[in-house]
């Protein structure tokens, strides 16, 4: 009898502790902590695995051999290939700086100018805005194929240039080292205004009309309007765009893979990394250690530069409106 | 007779121009028109070339007749594109199917998780909030170069290389540019909506899924359209991590490398078809994209 009572009591105790546990779990998940835990768990795990682990492992890989064991050989190899004139890494760095400079010094200022005239509703501004933005939404595979075909010696641009008496290379503009990189840079400029144009136009549209109207009443022309009113008022957007462009210091590139597969001295750092990792295709090339060492060196240079530029940008006072 | 009603801004002081200004605007109009032609002309050329016969195209090239129109429009090239072009056993139908699932997975996950992180970090106060926010901004603005090797190795170690699990797992993050947009949006939404749900006995989940998420429909849709366009056009991630699942962008890149003579017009037809979904999406939502896409200062 006593044994039965004891069993009943322990069963009841287990049942009540089960119920308490269940209500606690229910309370946890219906409360704020449970909600945050449930919602943020996947993004945080994803960040820990695909960002933090990848970055930490990349640092470790830089100091390891492919076969295992610690070494500084990757850095030695990287430094040698960087300092030998005409080496692929040497060419890649030079080309990357060319792409980076063309973005910062040509694409961004022209995009700003285009945005101004679209904002001021130049005739046909709605059509122009859509056409200028098209390269941003169309596939680079399509764009580069069309570009490649039109500039071949038998393509429309090639034929036109020869008709006009230009000395057009028989192998095409992409077929020789002296013109290939410049041609790809021109391509990136031609298709590169879209996103900056949209960002700058968005910022300009937030400028109060009253400010521009009163300037107009004072006799302010387009040049003065840009320099004295529009640029200071959209400065936060411009500075953000400059900081974002600076992040491309070592990653700026054109569609080298699609246009020339890195031949004719067109390689960039991004292409070099892609090529070393992908190798000949399926399964990758496996040169992760050298890529990680190079990446670590570039990142070590890029971070202080970006922080310095960001500091400078923050020093320039924003206009309030 | 219909009289066009002018928009109030059209007649405002802002858009009245002096003679000198009119000259400047006329000059820039001319420049813009030339640039627009430079962007449009290649696609007209692509379309016309896609209607040529294979031999006809090669002959025109040999004779340097780049501007020659097709003798007879070969619309069958568009059907041939689906049957004759293939890479590693995958034809254009297969590539389109891969593009659809890849775009859907990456876009839905990316927009949903950035909405989740944006909402949680902008509306709740908890211990790790500032740390998570700082890390999110830091990882976006600091350029870390050369981690591709480590990402590749991770995919191999997790056995998700060349598997649909790769985009499913790697895109379930909620940080980056989309996070900042959603964070800014939710920051400006009143907390009273959620409180009304709590008063009615609803939970935090009800507040988020039933009230806040529908309110964020517009920015989510804009980010979704942008993300979908990027995914549809993405070829490097597919070449690197999903070589057996070529999307239309990656597949056409592979096809071009193996293209034999006489197939160029069919390839051009395939390129033209591959652009259509994006052009249709853009035509339907261009206003949404153009109006909602703005960027403020990133000071964090």
Residue B134 sits at the chain A interface (C-beta within 8 Å): no
Q: Does the beta-carbon distance from A40 to B120 stay under 8 Å? A: yes
What CA–CA distance (Å, rounded) separates B15 from B4?
18
Q: Residue B187: count other Cβ atoms within 10 Å of its Cβ.
A: 12
pLDDT in tens, A128-175: 999 999 999 999 999 999 999 999 999 999 999 999 999 899 999 999
pLDDT tens digits, one per residue of B49-78: 999 999 999 999 888 888 889 999 999 999
- pLDDT given at position B281: 86
- Does any CB of chain A come closer than 8 Å to the CB of residue B276? no
Mean pLDDT for chain A overall: 88
Q: Percentage of residues in chain B with pLDDT exceeding 90? A: 65
Q: How many CB pairs under 8 A join A and B?
A: 302
Interface touch B135/A117, C-beta < 8 Å = no
Distance CA A197, CA A111 (A): 5
**Which residues of chain B does A303 touch, with a Cβ-Cβ cutoff of 8 Å?**
142-143
Residue B62, chain A, CB below 8 Å: the answer is: yes
Output the pLDDT for position A9.
67
Closest CA to B65 of A30, A35, A158, A255: A158
Binary contact (A137, B144; C-beta < 8 A)? no
Q: What share of chain B is helix, strand, coil (3-state, %, to 5)?
A: 70, 0, 30
B 10-29 residues with CB < 8 A to A = 10, 12-15, 18, 20-21, 24-25, 28-29
How do residues B160-202 score in pLDDT, each as one tens digit?
999 999 999 999 988 888 898 899 999 999 999 999 999 999 9
pLDDT of residue A98: 96
Best residue in A59, A125, A142, A151 to probe B by mutation, most B CBs within 10 Å? A142
Answering whether pTM is above 0.90, one says: no
Query: Which of A131, A137, A273 minimises the CB distance to B148?
Result: A273
- Helix, strand or coil, per DSSP, at residue B174: coil
> Could you tell me where the DSSP H helices lie in B63-147?
76-84, 92-123, 129-141
For the segment A165-214, what is each residue's pLDDT rounded down to a tens digit?
A: 998 999 999 999 999 999 999 999 999 998 889 889 888 988 888 888 88
CATH class belonging to A77-315: mainly alpha
CATH topology of domain B85-258: MetI-like fold (1.10.3720)
Q: Residue A173's closest CA among A182, A164, A165, A163?
A: A182
Q: Strand locations in B143-266, DSSP E? A: none
B195 at interface of A, judged by CB pairs closer than 8 A: no
Domain residue spans in chain B?
17-78, 85-258
Query: How far A220 CA lies from chain B's nearest CA (Å)?
Result: 11
**What ipTM was estimated for this complex?**
0.87
CA distance A60 to A296: 10
- Among A1-10, B103-112, B130-139, the range with the most confident prediction by mean pLDDT is B103-112
Give the H or E element holding residue B87. strand B86-87
C-alpha pair distances (Å), B269 with each of A38, A70, A136, A153, B278: 48, 53, 21, 22, 16
Looking at the predicted structure, is the pLDDT value of residue B300 above 50? Answer: no
Residues in chain B: 300
Is residue B11's pLDDT more than 90?
no
B31 in reach of chain A (CB within 8 A):
no
Q: How confident is the model at residue A1 (pLDDT cuts 50, 70, 90)?
A: very low
Q: What is the pLDDT of residue B247?
A: 95
């Amino acid at each position: 009898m006593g044994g039965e009572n004891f069993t009943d009591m322990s069963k009841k105790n287990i049942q009540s502790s089960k119920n308490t546990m269940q209500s606690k779990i229910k309370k946890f998940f219906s409360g704020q902590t449970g909600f945050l835990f449930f919602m943020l768990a996947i993004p945080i795990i994803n960040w820990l695995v695909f960002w933090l682990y990848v970055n930490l492992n990349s640092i470790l890989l830089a100091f390891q051999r492919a076969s295992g064991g610690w070494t500084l050989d990757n850095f030695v190899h990287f430094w040698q290939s960087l300092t030998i004139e005409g080496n692929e890494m040497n060419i890649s760095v030079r080309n990357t700086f060319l792409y980076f400079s063309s973005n910062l010094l040509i694409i961004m200022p022209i995009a700003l100018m285009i945005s101004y005239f679209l904002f001021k509703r130049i005739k046909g501004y709605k059509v122009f805005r859509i056409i200028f933005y098209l390269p941003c939404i169309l596939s680079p595979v399509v764009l580069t194929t069309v570009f490649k075909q039109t500039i071949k010696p038998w393509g429309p641009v090639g034929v036109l240039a020869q008709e006009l008496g230009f000395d057009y290379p028989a192998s095409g503009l992409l077929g020789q080292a002296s013109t290939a990189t410049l041609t790809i840079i021109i391509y990136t400029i031609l298709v590169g205004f879209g996103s900056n144009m949209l960002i700058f136009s968005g910022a300009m549209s937030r400028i109060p009309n009253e400010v521009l109207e009163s300037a107009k009443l004072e006799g302010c022309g387009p040049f003065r309007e840009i320099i004295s009113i529009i640029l200071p008022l959209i400065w936060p957007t411009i500075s953000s765009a400059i900081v974002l462009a600076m992040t491309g210091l070592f990653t700026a590139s054109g569609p080298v893979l699609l246009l020339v597969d890195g031949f004719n001295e067109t390689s960039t750092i991004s292409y070099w990394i892609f090529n070393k990792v992908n190798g000949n295709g399926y399964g990758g090339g496996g040169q992760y250690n050298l890529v990680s060492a190079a990446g670590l060196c570039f990142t070590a240079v890029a971070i202080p530069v970006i922080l310095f530029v960001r500091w400078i940008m923050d020093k320039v006072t924003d206009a309030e409106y | 007779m219909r009289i066009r009603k002018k928009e109030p801004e059209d007649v405002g002081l802002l858009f009245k121009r002096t003679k000198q200004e009119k000259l400047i605007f006329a000059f820039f109009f001319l420049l813009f028109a030339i640039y627009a032609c430079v962007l449009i002309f290649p696609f007209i050329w692509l379309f016309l070339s896609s209607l040529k016969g294979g031999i006809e195209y090669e002959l025109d090239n040999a004779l340097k007749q780049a501007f020659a129109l097709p003798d007879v429009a070969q619309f069958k090239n568009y059907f041939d594109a689906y049957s004759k072009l293939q890479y590693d056993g995958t034809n254009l139908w297969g590539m389109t199917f891969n593009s659809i699932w890849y775009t859907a997975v990456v876009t839905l996950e990316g927009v949903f998780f950035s909405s989740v992180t944006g909402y949680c970090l902008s509306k709740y106060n908890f211990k790790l909030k500032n740390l998570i926010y700082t890390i999110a901004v830091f990882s976006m603005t600091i350029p870390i170069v050369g981690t591709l090797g480590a990402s590749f190795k991770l995919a191999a170690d997790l056995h998700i290389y060349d598997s649909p699990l790769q985009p499913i797992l790697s895109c379930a993050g909620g940080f980056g540019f989309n996070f900042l947009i959603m964070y800014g949006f939710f920051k400006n939404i009143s907390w009273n909506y959620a409180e009304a749900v709590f008063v009615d006995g609803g939970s935090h989940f009800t507040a988020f899924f039933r009230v806040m998420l529908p309110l964020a429909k517009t920015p989510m849709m804009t980010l979704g359209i942008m993300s979908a366009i990027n995914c549809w056009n993405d070829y490097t991630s597919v070449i690197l991590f999903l070589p057996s699942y070529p999307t239309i962008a990656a597949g056409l890149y592979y096809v071009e490398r193996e293209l034999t003579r006489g197939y160029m017009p069919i390839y051009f037809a395939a390129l033209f078809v591959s652009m259509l979904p994006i052009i249709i999406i853009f035509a339907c939502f261009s206003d949404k994209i153009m109006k909602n896409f703005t960027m403020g200062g990133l000071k964090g």
